Chains A and B, each alone.
Chain A
Amino acid sequence: MNVFLAQLLNGLDKGGAYALIALGLTLVFGTLGVVNFAHGALFMLGCFCAVTFRYLITLETVTVDPEKLSPWGAPVEVRTPLVQNWFGDFGAVLVDYSVPISILLAIPVMLIIGIAMERGIIKHFYKRSHAEQILVTFGLAIVLQEIVKSFFGANPVPQPIPTDLRGAADIGVWFGMAPHVLTYPWWRLLYLLFSAVVIGGVFAFLQFTTFGMVVRAGMADRETVGLMGIDIDRRFTIVFGLAAVVAGVAGVMYTPLLAPNYHLGMDFLVLSFVVVVVGGMGSLPGAVAAGFLLGILQSFASMTEVKSLIPGIDQVIIYLVAVVILLVRPRGLMGRRGIMES
């Protein structure tokens, strides 16, 4: 039973990440009708917002100690962190909590990147075919990852979990089990909670604000909204920025789980597309449901017992499910008529 619960928890945790990444992708598709293959790169850029923030707050003064020599005979460099020098204990806390704090940097940066991307490139491809959109956004993703590589190198840059959130929570004890029967990392639990909050926030924004109402109306009938004198293009540009922010903050919080490297966006790209397709192109609840569904299935398929029955199932399960769902429901779980259909 505890093995089942641990795997379920893992599936929810994975699903949270998948849903968060796919949410922005399907939002852009649903509003702008653009198949954005650079969405994975936005996730990666979010990760590197955390890396950059940490780099900045751990900047050091470097002095040379002529008394000590390195093994190759050069004087040893003595490094002193600036932030801790200036702010003392508060500086140490800033460094320790650099990942969650870097969300404050990621939100404006990703918003600007998203808007610049939409105004600079994407808008010129609204009326082009999906194949052309895929080509240009895929090219853009490659350019972005090469830029990141030139600044940060090819190696992963690990980001630490704040000291207070390291280790694992003894969840079993909360439910009356013996100690150490069901444990799960604190940061992963936090990520699950974070996913739920961001997803809830996006839904609330679209559901309960005037801006969201206009966007939903535009998604349903863009032409009519335009005829009513509303500049729907401007709102959709902001939606693209919002999608970039969602992908970015998802990336920021993911950095302690997976040391970011320049290629991370490509790793998540295919997966996020499968989630969107299974959920239904342009459907926000579909993306969320598919994210959690695929996360849980992938987690259970990785169990030794399952793998011994069907070898290799852990590597193909999400694609297998995608095939089955598309055969049974060609529009995906919650896809709407008319999306990606002539």
Chain B
Amino acid sequence: MAIFKPNRRSLLKGAGAGIAALGTPYIFTKGAWAQDFCNDPTNGKIVLGFNVPQTGSYAEEGLEQLKGYELAVKHINGEGDGGLLKTLKPVALKGNGVLGRKVEYVTGDTQTNTDAARDGARRMIERDKAIMVTGSVTSGEAIAQQSLCQEMGVIYMSGLTHSNDTTGKDKRRYGFRHFFNAYQSGVAIAPFLAKEYGTDRRAYHLTADYTWGWTQEESIKNATEALGWETVATVRTPLGLGDYSQYLTPVLNSGADVLILNHYGHDMVNSLPQAVQFGLRERQANGKNFEIVVPMFSELMAVGAGEAVKGIIGTSNWQWSLDDEGTKAFTKSYGEAYGEPPSQSAHTGYVQTILYADAVERAGTFYPPEVIKALEGFEFDGMGNGHTVYRDSDHQCFKEVLVVRGNENPSSRFDVLNVIGKTTREDVTYEASIFGGELGPYEPNKC
């Protein structure tokens, strides 16, 4: 009976064969990336798809976002003053394109419509060969595009989307959100509401009847009830309604002393001034001054609401008047390019594009699973939001959240919001599991 006796020679032979055997699939896989993913730009153009509302209710926010994207491409390609590439830490981009090649882009109009957004993203992927799609001003647009991109194996960097669902129950492996969410708004604003208005309040919610409105209402309701506030009523209003008067008259005699408007964009631009016209802010209820809260603000909304926005408290993802280096650099670049300060919509679009390009640079490839891994858990600073992390378990960015108030004495037409506080990243961090959802697989589909 032969007995196997290991010696040095046989051990070396065995080890060599084992390494070769284990390494072979990796070599094949590495070589196969070039052929196995959607719109591989190795031998073609590097095309990014910017899909934003250019018409419809949120056109103005979409066009702002597009300006942010276009500026980001300039800076990635080494044009202009470099913007946030100078302040992003750590940064792999060198200002010579991505992986040494210039980036191009195509644009689309979502028409502020979920179906049109999805169709536009599909066109960008199938016809224009976009390697990455980005852009949204509503959560409906973001969720629809994110879902499509997962199916097609193309990374989607969402634009402005605030619903918990985007990185909650509807999260996707191929979708990433830099913008904050409704839960974070609730957590961030609650201490300021307690400080300004006390803990014994009765709140009446008017809520836009769609995914973002529902999650915002739930988040703010939970946060204010935790303070000790009572919720008198939660009333859903149709999306895109012009005249809210029939929903405002019941507020007057409801026993509430705070009106919370879970409205965004045109809805808020209409409902807030109308609430002020009804004399709510001059009103006394339960022995207190009646107050109005708009949990989620944007500069463009504040401009649209005019005088009514003065003194109203809300939250914001970013504000051009912050004094950190990243904000100053972006405001300077954007101001020189467009003659006005950037909005948070432009900022989040710009940052998302830079973060994607930087992740490709760090991964050394456009192969989506590697880029996804480069983004997951990525910690960075210098983009205007303080120290930030892209959480790997839900692809939500965690950073400080701004609490803002409509400026009582604006010094210019751009000076509409004042930052009255910041809630720290730690305070707005939550367990990813509370909103459910599954990210799905890394492996890309062929489009």
Chain A residues within CB distance 8 Å of chain B:
2-3, 6-7, 9-11, 13-14, 17, 70-74, 76, 153-156, 158, 160-161, 166-168, 180-181, 183-185, 187-188, 256-259, 261, 263-264, 267, 298-299, 302-304, 307, 314-315
Q: How far is the CB of B378 from chain A (nearest CB, A)?
A: 28
Is B187's CB within 8 Å of the partner chain A? no
Are A302 and B247 interface neighbours, CB within 8 A?
yes
Are A314 and B332 interface neighbours, CB within 8 A?
no
Are A180 and B284 interface neighbours, CB within 8 A?
yes
Report B-chain residues with C-beta under 8 Å of the C-beta of A154: 55-56, 59-60, 63
Are A158 and B306 interface neighbours, CB within 8 A?
yes
Please, how many angstroms separate the alpha-carbon atoms of A167 and B336 in the complex? 41
Are B269 and A14 interface neighbours, CB within 8 A?
no
- With A6-B249, A185-B278 already in contact, the answer to whether A160 and B306 are too (CB < 8 A) is yes
Is B253's CB within 8 Å of the partner chain A? yes
Report B-chain residues with C-beta under 8 Å of the C-beta of A17: 243
- 6 chain-A/chain-B pairs, Cβ below 8 angstroms: A71-B320, A74-B339, A160-B306, A185-B277, A256-B277, A298-B246
Report A-chain residues with C-beta under 8 Å of the C-beta of B335: 70-74
- Closest residue of chain B to A259, judged by CB? B269
Are B336 and A73 interface neighbours, CB within 8 A?
yes
Are B279 and A167 interface neighbours, CB within 8 A?
yes
Report B-chain residues with C-beta under 8 Å of the C-beta of A161: 277
Report B-chain residues with C-beta under 8 Å of the C-beta of A156: 266, 269-270, 304
Please, how many angstroms separate the alpha-carbon atoms of A70 and B56 in the complex? 32
- CB contact between B341 and one of A2, A71, A259 (< 8 Å): that residue: A71
Please, how many angstroms separate the alpha-carbon atoms of A69 and B369 in the complex? 46
Is B101's CB within 8 Å of the partner chain A? no
Are A259 and B246 interface neighbours, CB within 8 A?
no
Report A-chain residues with C-beta under 8 Å of the C-beta of B249: 3, 6-7, 9-10, 299
Query: Number of A-B pairs whose CB atoms are under 8 Å?
Result: 121
Are B242 and A258 interface neighbours, CB within 8 A?
yes
Question: How many B residues are at the interface, by size bracket?
Answer: 35 or more
Q: How far is the CB of B343 from chain A (nearest CB, A)?
A: 12
Report A-chain residues with C-beta under 8 Å of the C-beta of B238: 314-315
Is B282's CB within 8 Å of the partner chain A? yes
Report B-chain residues with C-beta under 8 Å of the C-beta of A153: 60
Are B235 and A307 interface neighbours, CB within 8 A?
yes
- Closest residue of chain B to A260, judged by CB? B242
Please, how many angstroms separate the alpha-carbon atoms of A10 and B253 in the complex? 14
Are B279 and A158 interface neighbours, CB within 8 A?
no
Are B246 and A14 interface neighbours, CB within 8 A?
yes
- CB contact between B307 and one of A160, A257, A304 (< 8 Å): that residue: A160
Are B252 and A155 interface neighbours, CB within 8 A?
no
- Listed from nearest, the 3 A-B pairs whose CB atoms lie closest are A72-B335, A168-B279, A154-B59
Q: How far is the CB of B301 from chain A (nearest CB, A)?
A: 10
Is B334's CB within 8 Å of the partner chain A? yes
Which chain B residues in 233-263 approach chain A with CB under 8 Å?
A: 233, 235, 238, 240, 242-243, 245-247, 249-250, 252-253
Please, how many angstroms separate the alpha-carbon atoms of A180 and B280 in the complex? 10
Are A158 and B305 interface neighbours, CB within 8 A?
yes
Given contacts A2-B253, A256-B277, A303-B250, 9 further A-B contacts (CB under 8 A): A74-B336, A154-B55, A155-B300, A158-B269, A160-B307, A161-B277, A183-B279, A299-B249, A302-B246
Q: How far is the CB of A300 from chain B (nearest CB, A)?
A: 8
Report A-chain residues with C-beta under 8 Å of the C-beta of B303: 155
Are A166 and B60 interface neighbours, CB within 8 A?
no
Which chain B residues in 18-63 approach chain A with CB under 8 Å?
A: 55-57, 59-60, 63
- Closest residue of chain A to B304, judged by CB? A156
Which chain B residues in 349-399 approach chain A with CB under 8 Å?
A: none
- Closest residue of chain B to A146, judged by CB? B55
Is B87's CB within 8 Å of the partner chain A? no
- Closest residue of chain A to B58, judged by CB? A154
Are A257 and B336 interface neighbours, CB within 8 A?
no
Interface string of B272-298 (1 = CB under 8 A from A): 011001110011100000000000000
Please, how many angstroms separate the alpha-carbon atoms of A155 and B304 in the complex? 7
Are B243 and A257 interface neighbours, CB within 8 A?
yes
Q: How far is the CB of B80 from chain A (nearest CB, A)?
A: 12
Report A-chain residues with C-beta under 8 Å of the C-beta of B320: 71
Please, how many angstroms separate the alpha-carbon atoms of A261 and B252 in the complex? 28
Please, how many angstroms separate the alpha-carbon atoms of A258 and B277 in the complex? 11
Q: How far is the CB of A254 from chain B (nearest CB, A)?
A: 9
Report A-chain residues with C-beta under 8 Å of the C-beta of B246: 7, 10-11, 14, 298-299, 302, 314
- CB contact between B277 and one of A73, A257, A267 (< 8 Å): that residue: A257
- Closest residue of chain A to B284, judged by CB? A180
Report A-chain residues with C-beta under 8 Å of the C-beta of B60: 153-155
- With A71-B332, A71-B341, A185-B278 already in contact, the answer to whether A258 and B243 are too (CB < 8 A) is yes
Report B-chain residues with C-beta under 8 Å of the C-beta of A298: 246
- Closest residue of chain B to A153, judged by CB? B60
Is B86's CB within 8 Å of the partner chain A? no
